[in-house]
Amino acid sequence: MSDRMTPAARGDRVLAGYAWLVLALLVLPLIALIPISLGDSPTVSVLPDKLSLRWYREVLGGAEWRSAFWWSLATASVATLISTSIGYLGAYAIVHSQSRLKGMLEVLMLMPMMVPTVIVAFSTYVLATWMPANATWLMISVGQGLLGLPVATLIIAASLRGIDGTVIRAAVSLGGDRRQVFAFVTLPMAIHGIVSAAALSFLIAFDELLIAVFLTRPGIETLPVRIYDSVTYELTPAIAVVSVFLMALVCLAMLAGEVIRRLAANAAVNAPQ
């Protein structure tokens, strides 16, 4: 057998090396945040002279950081509810409607993806000028919900298309009304798509900056705005601390989702036939 490598094997090795290189370029900057967050100096350094939890104490004890986190959590949660609920209704109409206006509806639901985010932010700001001042946080949620709407619509529509229509017709023929069919047939079969749409919509809203910048006022500041202001005026390892916390939350959420998925799969396998 010849030891000479075939062109296909050589190509596989090159592709694998390229994949590892891209992975390293993506992961190493995130890993570098950990030693930066443990520095004692106000300057940002990947190799700090002294390890300390100073900036963790400052972030956890800082009222501005805590307030920004809770505002982001509140606005992103409401935005997720808006984008997921409207996205489901739009996706259902796109998948099941026989109207000639279905194509126009699909374009309308995907419109926030087609225009620059700054236009969505400015239009939300103009709308907010007509609203009471205490409704600012709600308008932030509305704008963020618009940005998540196309993603939610596409994911839920794909999930609804995967449902066998004969199952729905069988449920209707057995006497189920629309609410019963939705609650006991459609929702359980589409729940994975709905949860995925909600998760992505939440991440989009939680990470959104432009709309929050347009609508921020004293007393209402989301976490991305707080990070932006901190980077602009005083770049310290506190930014790395916040980034480490957010990465940890994302990892925990992914782990919880995987555990729930496996539990659901095991329950389905062990369910009595």
**CATH number of the domain enclosing 157:** 1.10.3720.10
Residue 4 lies in a domain: no
pLDDT at 157: 93
Chain Cα centroid distance, residue 3: 49
Residue 226 lies in a domain: yes
Written as tens digits, the pLDDT of the chain (273 aa) is 455 677 777 788 888 889 999 999 999 988 999 999 998 888 888 888 888 888 899 888 888 899 999 999 999 999 999 999 999 999 999 988 888 888 888 889 999 989 999 999 999 999 888 888 778 889 999 999 999 999 999 999 999 888 877 888 888 888 877 788 888 888 888 888 888 899 899 999 998 999 999 988 888 889 999 999 888 888 888 899 999 998 888 888 778 777 876 776 676 556 445
pLDDT at 1: 46
Phi, psi of 205 (to 5 degrees): -70, -40
Residue 267 lies in a domain: no
pLDDT at 186: 83
Residue 13 lies in a domain: no
Residue 101 lies in a domain: yes
Range 127-155 burial, b when 16+ CB lie within 10 A, else e = ebeeeeeeebbbbbbbbbbbbbbbbbbbb
Residue 264 lies in a domain: no
pLDDT at 76: 93
Tell me which residue range forms the domain holding 71: 54-162+194-247
Which of 192, 138, 160, 181 lies closest to 88 in space, CA to CA?
A: 160
pLDDT at 155: 93
Q: How many domains does the chain have?
A: 1
pLDDT at 270: 60
Residue 14 lies in a domain: no
pLDDT at 219: 81
Residue 25 lies in a domain: no
Burial of 163 (0-12, 13-18, 19+ CB in 10 A): middle
pLDDT at 163: 83
Burial of 244 (0-12, 13-18, 19+ CB in 10 A): buried
Give this prediction's pTM: 0.83
